[in-house]
Each structure stands twice: as structure tokens, then as C-alpha cells.
Amino acid sequence: MTGSGTRGDAESRIRFLRGELERHNRLYYVDARPEIEDRAYDALYRELEELEKRHPDLVTSDSPTQRVGGEPLSGFSTRTHTVPMMSLGNTYSREELAQFDRRVCDRLGTDRAVYVVEPKIDGVSLSVRYEAGVLVRALTRGDGKTGDDVTANIRTIRSVPLRLSGARPPAVFEARGEVFMTREGFARLNDRRREAGEEPFANARNATAGSIKQLDPKIVAQRPLEVLFYAAGEVAGLDIRSQQQLLKTFREFGLRTHARVWVTSSFDEMWQAVEALDAMRPTLPYDTDGAVIKLDDYARRETVGWTAKAPSWAMAYKYEAETAFTRLTAITVQVGRTGTLTPVAELEPVALAGSTISRATLHNEDEIRRKDIRVGDLVEIKKAGEVIPAVVSVRQESRPASAQPFDMERFLGGQCPECHGPIARDPQFVAWRCENPQCPAQSVRRIRYFAMREALDLQMLGEVVAEALVEKGLIREPLDLYDLTVEKLGALNLGTAESPRLFGEKNAEKLRQALEAARALPLSRWICALGIPEVGESTAYELGRAHRDLVDLAHSDLLRAMQKYYALDASRPKKKEDSAGHASATEDMEKLARKLEAKGAAKPSSAKSKSREWLLAFGPKVVEKVIAYFESPAGLAVLARLAKLGLAPRGDGQASGDAPLAGKTVVLTGTLAGTTRDEATDLIRAAGGSVASTVSKQTDFVVAGENAGSKLDKARELGVPVLDEKAFLARVSGEKKVTKTEPREGWLF
Ligand code: IVH
């Protein structure tokens, strides 16, 4: 079609292509309902370019190909606004807004007026002049009377039509609006700048203002600028009588407007609109800082009038500033409840949204690097809802020369600031965390570990409960749970002071029972519950099989032999003497393995070399962490505490599996003739069982003595076996053995 056509063909094709490109531009930018893909648009564009290259005399300034043209300017010329660009009165208070409405109504002699409420974008205001529908000039606001001629730059913005749509454009139409960048466009621009080694802009407004003042339109064309229109300057050949009509006209001309405005006819409605807009702000793709309230009717505007600077018929209501700039005086590091090390900005106190802020979160080290935040910087802080404020950006231009990039590891000297334990970077996340499970800052994490299904399976003890327990100061360590009374637990408030939500006695009782039942759990579950680093469920299981109890594990000969072996293993290739040492370490381990097996510990299967199998079960990290744990003050304290609480879980596959009541839950009721309640409880525990106070389906059997009451009834109702004293004593002494442990694949018993 473009190849051999006549000039006439080319001319009509050019007209068609320009019309199509304009139409698609409008569908995309104004109506937000594009009909074609970018690629198809580009194809039309290239075809037009081709044709115009071949017929240069057919090129006109309003052709879509002529957006970026000409050489860089040497400066901007100033021009006078035909109608001055005024500013707006503004307020932060509802009361002042109500006064504004009353003033307007008073002047109009009515008690109600119709207003249009629009979002207020914080960008750069602009006046774009169309003559006979063609864009002829674009001026910045300047001082309101004269502005800079930025026509070449504004032409590069695709949401600004070079020609108004519609068959009969007015002789003169000055559209006024705001140039801005969306948050996304701004972020992409700054990313590009950083990649290119250029300094990023402090905020979208600065980036916009800087872009408009660029002398080279080719650079402007690469900036993600957009324009929305909301007011008119000079208009000739068109009668516009209200703001609503103006907005409608804008859209008909293909000039973009706000997607949502409110038309209100009472102060209550106006205020509702202001609040609705406030709620909507986070969902808008660009930053807004207020609402602009304008009297709708133009004739009425004349009645209300103007001051020297601003119209009296309009007002900007500004939302409480969400961000503020202040100096970052230091970075400190906080240890979170799960051991996460969170950098915190210490700030020169600054007022923000009604409070004085002196600290803000920096999230994590990556975030600090990404935003390049340094001590001494002027930083922008932002409050989002009720969460603590965050540092959102840095004013790089006001950075002291001595400011250094932040390095978490160097800053902390590789230690947790709370317990001086080792720190590590979580490979899955960007956070550094304290590796020491006994770090006092990590109570909640330890308690959660303790309650996990793989550990003691305390189902009532979820994250929320664990946090509340620690926050209210009821417990610090998991074993503190055994000291809590049902009353205290039941009164635990999981909600807030204003809307309390109690844990409740019923739940408290269930947790109590679960804690009692946990006494009978095998050693491996308890090892798991301690939350030793590197020790997950399966490692805990192997450790539990290889040891009699926690004391045995704490002094484990096996683990120490393995530690020796690993130490030599690491240095093996280097020295001859070491290989002798190595042989002896292996021998030690084999001896130990045999000894352990002779004592009845679980042994590895089909072992050519027994020591090899042990090595497979516990790697060097596990060995190191377990030994370190039981040598640490915290580990020793846990052992002492367990002994005091009478908690002595037995090694898996050994005594506990053979114990007559292993894993059984027993309820005592009534009076036994020859055994006190305490003695019976001890007997049950010694036999590996646990005592519960209420009968449920989980109860394995009930021991009923004289005068047994409701518990006996309940047992019968649920079909739970009931034993008398004689049968009970026979059972605990092991006359009827219960074997709990099932063999695991790959292991011989
Ligand atoms: S009307 C004579 N409407 O806010 C009234 N201004 O603080 C002309 N602005 O200079 C302005 N959004 O740059 C109007 N929907 C909106 C606006 C808006 C942002 C800016 C504009 C103006 C400044 C006044």
C-alpha cells in the first residue's frame, strides 16, 4: 500500500494513520480502554514515519511523529498568561472547610451550594493552549502572570493530544492541569538512573519539575510524565458554564481528567467526599496531597469572586502530611521476637501526622542499600496507618561527605547486640538473624518451637497466645508454662485493652492437660522442643534413639567422639600424624557405637563401618550445636529446670517404648484404698504415662476408686476403659506391656 501509491494515496493514508494513532492514544490515556496492543500501535506509527519520510512536504507539526523534535533549547523563554494562573487557599481543618462553605453560601444568599470535589495531585501545574484544536503552546505556572514556555517538552507527553478530538474545535482553548509521575513510573525512572550511575530523584514531584525544565526534549521523552486537566484558562468559541461541563468537555476533546470526582450539594456530602477520597488515595497510582473543592457553577463563581491571589469559590483541603524530612543521627539494631535483626533509624525529632517521631524502621540491610541510606543523611519518613514510621527516601544532595554505606555485619561485629551470640543471614530472606536460640529477645520463637506438633504438640499455644504470654510478662521461657495456673492462663487477654479477648479457663485447662501429657512424650520430642539450631524433627529422632535421656545427651560420649572425628577429618589431607589421629578417632567412635548398642541404643542398619553410619545420622554442624547448647548457661539452666519439674523424658526406642504406660493418658477418680493420689500419679508418670484431670476421647483409661463420681459416668458414656485399683497396679507394673515405637525404615532393632 505504501510502495507504489500516488501522492494522493499517501496523503489519505497519512490522514488515516494520524487519526488512528490519535484515536488509540485517546483510548489508552483518556478512556483507559485500549483496543490494540503496543506492538500494533508501533506498527501504525512506523508506517506513518515511513510515509512522512517519503513525503516530507506532508509533515505537519501535529503529526504524532512530531512529538520529539528539534534541537535542545539554550533556555526557556517566558510568556505572559492570557488569564493569570492563580493559586488556591488551603486548610487542614474540617472547621475551616465548613467556614469556607458558609462564606460561599452567604455571598450567594443560599444555604446550599453545589461543589465538585477533585483529587489534588502534588505535581507541577501547566497551561496548554490549543488554537483551532492544535496544540500551540504550553507554559508552566511561573509566578502566575508569566511562565516558561515548555511546549517542546510537553509535546513529548503522549497523554497530551497534539490535536483535540472532535469535528469543531473552539478557536482558543487553554486547558490547565498537573504534570506528574505515577509512583511506578517514578520508581522505574530512579531504577534506570541508579543503573546508569546517576543520582536518583528525591521524590516524584522533584523528578517531574526537573524533567519539565530539561532543555533537550529527547531526554524529556524518556521521562514517565503524565498530565491530568482540571481547569480552563482562556476559552474562545465555546461556552462552558460549570466545572462538571468543563470536565466533560475535556474528555470529549481527548484531554485526560481524574477518573473519579464527587459532586456534592451539602457540607456533609462535601466532607464525605473528602474522606472517601482520603480512603482511596493509596489505591491511586499517583501521590495526592489533598482534595480541591470548587463551586460548580461559573455564574456563581463570579458572584463569590476572587482575592488578589486566589479564587474565593475554591479551596484545597490538605490531608495531614504523611511524610516529613529529618536528619538520620544513628542506626541501631533491634532483635525481633523471632531473632530477626531489624535496623532502626534514630532521628532528629520531627512532627509527623500529629506526633513527634524520633525513630523509624529501616526494614532490613537490603532496603538500606537499595535506598542508599547513610548516617548523617536527610531522610524522608512516612507514616502508614498505625505502624511505626519508615524511612522512605534520602535526599542525596544534602549528604555529608563523610557518610559511609551501612554494613550490618561490620556494624554489629558479627554479634547479636542483645546476647552477643552469632548472627547469620537468612538465605531465604533478606534479614540477618541472631542464631542463638537462647537469646533473651527471642522468647516467642522458643515458645512456638516448644509447642510445635513435632515437639510437644501444644495445640492451644499458637503464635497469638505465645506473643500475648510474653508481652504480658507471664512467661519468658517455655518451661515457665509449667508454673502457670489455669486461672492466670484463662485470664490472658489476647485482644487489646479496648476490645479484650480472653484465652478462657476452658482453653487454659486444655493447655494444662497437654502440658501434663507432654511429660510422657519420648526424648526426641523434647529434644525437638528445645529448639537447638540445626536440630529438626528427624535429627531429634536420631538423637533420641541414641541417648537414654537429656542428661545422657548433654554429656554424650558419642557426640564428643564425633566432634573429635570431624575436627580431624577437616585437617586430614595435610599431615601424616593426623591420619594416625584420624584412625584412632574412628576407632573411638566404633568402640562407642558398639558400647551404645550393647546398652540397647538404636543402632544403624547394615553397617560396614558403624562409625560411618553415625556420621550419616549427625553431621558436624549438628554435633557442634548440640554440644554448644548443653554447655551454654542457658542449656544448663534448662536441664536444671527440667529436673526440678520432674521432667525426665526417656530415650526413644528404649525405656519409654517398653514402659507400661508409654504415651497413655490416665484419669484418676475416687479414693484408692492403698495408694494416695500423689503416689498413683508418680506411678503413672514413672510408667511413662500422663495424668489428666478430665475424661475425654483421648483418655486411655480411668482408674476409679471409692465414691467415683461424674468422671466415671463420663468414661462409661464415652466407652473409655475403667480400671479398679488392682488392675491399675498390675498395669503400671507392666503385666500388660504396651509397645509404642514402630520400627523405622532403614534401622534395625
Ligand atoms: S484548581 C484557580 N484543581 O494545586 C484554581 N488545582 O495549591 C486553579 N492542583 O496550583 C487550581 N490538583 O497546581 C486545581 N484538581 C485540582 C488540582 C490543583 C492539583 C494544584 C495546582 C494549583 C495548586 C494549588
Q: Render pLDDT for 715-728 as a digit per residue (tens, 0 to 9).
A: 999 999 999 999 99
Q: Looking at the domain that runs over 665-732, which CATH code has it been given?
A: 3.40.50.10190
Across the range 111-120, mean pLDDT stands at: 96
243 or 369, which is more confident? 243
Residues 124/179, Cβ–Cβ less than 8 Å:
yes
**Class for domain 90-318, per CATH?**
alpha beta
Tell me which of 81, 87, 92, 120 to substitute to probe ligand 1's pocket, judged by most ligand atoms within 8 Å of the beta carbon: 120
Strand partners, 57: none
Whether 147 lines ligand 1, by a CB cut-off of 6 Å, is: no
Tell me which of 83, 116, 230, 315 to substitute to probe ligand 1's pocket, judged by most ligand atoms within 8 Å of the beta carbon: 230
Residues 34/27, Cβ–Cβ less than 8 Å:
yes
Query: From the alpha carbon of 120, which atom of ligand 1 is closest?
Result: 12
Residues 718/697, Cβ–Cβ less than 8 Å:
yes
Lowest mean per-residue pLDDT among 377-391, 504-518, 654-668: 654-668
Whether 118 lines ligand 1, by a CB cut-off of 6 Å, is: yes
pLDDT of residue 579: 57
Lowest mean per-residue pLDDT among 48-57, 361-370, 510-519, 673-682: 673-682
Ligand 1 geometric centre to CA of 88 (Å): 7
DSSP assignment of 345-388 equals EEEEEEEETTEEEEEEE---HHHHHHHT--TT-EEEEE--TTSP
pLDDT of residue 240: 97
Ligand 1 geometric centre to CA of 501 (Å): 48
Query: From the alpha carbon of 86, which atom of ligand 1 is closest?
Result: 2
Ligand 1 geometric centre to CA of 112 (Å): 23
pLDDT of residue 187: 87
Ligand 1 geometric centre to CA of 302 (Å): 19
Ligand 1 atom 12: the closest Cα is on which residue?
120
Ligand 1 atom 18: the closest Cα is on which residue?
120
Phi, psi (rounded to 5 degrees) for 727: -60, -40
> Mean pLDDT for the chain?
85
Instruction: For residue 120, indicate whether it is catalytic.
Output: yes
pLDDT of residue 400: 81
CA dihedral (233, 236, 241, 244) positive or negative: negative
Whether 88 lines ligand 1, by a CB cut-off of 6 Å, is: yes
Nearest-angstrom CA–CA distance, 150 and 212: 7
Whether 180 lines ligand 1, by a CB cut-off of 6 Å, is: no
Q: What is the pTM of this model?
A: 0.50
Which DSSP letter does residue 455 get? T
- H/E element holding 588? helix 576-598
Q: Looking at the domain that runs over 440-520, which CATH code has it been given?
A: 1.10.150.20
Tell me which of 174, 180, 292, 304 to substitute to probe ligand 1's pocket, judged by most ligand atoms within 8 Å of the beta carbon: 292
Whether 231 lines ligand 1, by a CB cut-off of 6 Å, is: yes
**Residue of 274, 249, 303 lying closest to 113 (CA atoms):** 303
Give whole-number Cα distances, 548 to 82, 274, 347, in Å: 94, 70, 55
Asked if the model's pLDDT at residue 461 lies above 90, the reply is yes
Whether 227 lines ligand 1, by a CB cut-off of 6 Å, is: no
Residue in this structure with the C-alpha cell 480502554, named with its chain if needed: 33
Cell numbers linked to 354: 500529629
Whether 529 lines ligand 1, by a CB cut-off of 6 Å, is: no
pLDDT of residue 745: 28
Give whole-number Cα distances, 464 to 335, 373, 448, 471, in Å: 19, 34, 10, 10
Asked if the model's pLDDT at residue 749 lies above 80, the reply is no
pLDDT of residue 719: 92
| Nearest-5° Cα angle at 153, 147 to 155 | 110
Query: From the alpha carbon of 314, which atom of ligand 1 is closest?
Result: 5
* % residues pLDDT > 90 (the chain): 48
Asked if the model's pLDDT at residue 655 lies above 80, the reply is no
Asked if the model's pLDDT at residue 203 lies above 90, the reply is no
Asked if the model's pLDDT at residue 168 lies above 80, the reply is yes
Burial 275-289 (b: 16+ CB within 10 A, else e): eebbeebeebebbbb
pLDDT of residue 607: 36
Tell me which of 125, 141, 208 to substitute to probe ligand 1's pocket, judged by most ligand atoms within 8 Å of the beta carbon: 125
Across the range 152-170, mean pLDDT stands at: 92
Cell numbers linked to 617: 545420622
pLDDT of residue 715: 92
Which member of 53, 120, 575, 711 is catalytic?
Answer: 120
Nearest-angstrom CA–CA distance, 108 and 300: 7
Whether 143 lines ligand 1, by a CB cut-off of 6 Å, is: no
Nearest-angstrom CA–CA distance, 188 and 166: 35
pLDDT of residue 61: 85
Asked if the model's pLDDT at residue 740 lies above 60, the reply is no
Q: Kindly list the domain boundaries of the chain, sorted by start residue.
A: 7-66, 90-318, 323-434, 440-520, 523-645, 665-732
Whether 121 lines ligand 1, by a CB cut-off of 6 Å, is: yes
SS3 category, 747: strand
Nearest-angstrom CA–CA distance, 650 and 519: 10
Query: From the alpha carbon of 90, which atom of ligand 1 is closest?
Result: 7
Ligand 1 geometric centre to CA of 135 (Å): 21
Residues 463-497 have pLDDT tens digits of 889 988 988 888 988 999 999 999 999 999 998 87
**In the structure, what pLDDT confidence band is assigned to residue 739 with cuts at 50, 70 and 90?**
very low
Ligand 1 geometric centre to CA of 382 (Å): 24
Residues 438-456 have pLDDT tens digits of 777 788 888 988 999 889 9
Nearest-angstrom CA–CA distance, 394 and 377: 7
Ligand 1 atom 21: the closest Cα is on which residue?
125
Ligand 1 atom 10: the closest Cα is on which residue?
87
Ligand 1 atom 17: the closest Cα is on which residue?
120
Whether 343 lines ligand 1, by a CB cut-off of 6 Å, is: no
Residue 583, sorted as left (phi over 0), alpha (psi -120 to 50) or beta, turns out to be: alpha
Ligand 1 geometric centre to CA of 175 (Å): 12
Ligand 1 geometric centre to CA of 317 (Å): 11
**In the structure, what pLDDT confidence band is assigned to residue 211 with cuts at 50, 70 and 90?**
very high
**Residue of 261, 378, 391 lying closest to 326 (CA atoms):** 378
Nearest-angstrom CA–CA distance, 32 and 706: 83
Cell numbers linked to 310: 486566589
**Class for domain 323-434, per CATH?**
mainly beta
pLDDT of residue 234: 97
Which DSSP letter does residue 67 get? S
Burial 313-351 (b: 16+ CB within 10 A, else e): bbbbbbbeebbbebebeebebebebebbbbbbbebeebe
pLDDT of residue 406: 92
Show the 3-state SS of 661-723: CCCCEEEEECECCCCCHHHHHHHHHHCCCEEECCCCCCCCEEEECECCCHHHHHHHHHCCCEE
Ligand 1 atom 16: the closest Cα is on which residue?
120
* Helical segments of 478-536, H only: 486-490, 505-518, 523-529
Asked if the model's pLDDT at residue 501 lies above 60, the reply is yes
Nearest-angstrom CA–CA distance, 669 and 664: 16
Nearest-angstrom CA–CA distance, 531 and 524: 12
Strand partners, 704: 669
Across the range 226-245, mean pLDDT stands at: 97
Whether 293 lines ligand 1, by a CB cut-off of 6 Å, is: no
Ligand 1 atom 9: the closest Cα is on which residue?
120
Ligand 1 geometric centre to CA of 380 (Å): 24
Asked if the model's pLDDT at residue 736 lies above 90, the reply is no
Ligand 1 geometric centre to CA of 415 (Å): 53
Whether 87 lines ligand 1, by a CB cut-off of 6 Å, is: yes
Asked if the model's pLDDT at residue 386 lies above 60, the reply is no
Asked if the model's pLDDT at residue 116 lies above 50, the reply is yes
Quickly name the fold that domain 7-66 has.
Helix Hairpins (1.10.287)
Ligand 1 atom 1: the closest Cα is on which residue?
231
pLDDT of residue 300: 97
Whether 261 lines ligand 1, by a CB cut-off of 6 Å, is: no
Across the range 405-411, mean pLDDT stands at: 92
Across the range 5-30, mean pLDDT stands at: 89
Strongest mean pLDDT among 530-534, 681-685, 735-739:
530-534
Query: From the alpha carbon of 124, which atom of ligand 1 is closest?
Result: 13
Which DSSP letter does residue 476 get? S
Residues 312-353 have pLDDT tens digits of 999 999 887 668 888 899 999 988 766 889 899 999 887 776
pLDDT of residue 735: 67
Residues 576-626 have pLDDT tens digits of 445 556 667 677 777 766 666 554 444 443 333 445 556 666 888 899 999
* % residues pLDDT > 70 (the chain): 88
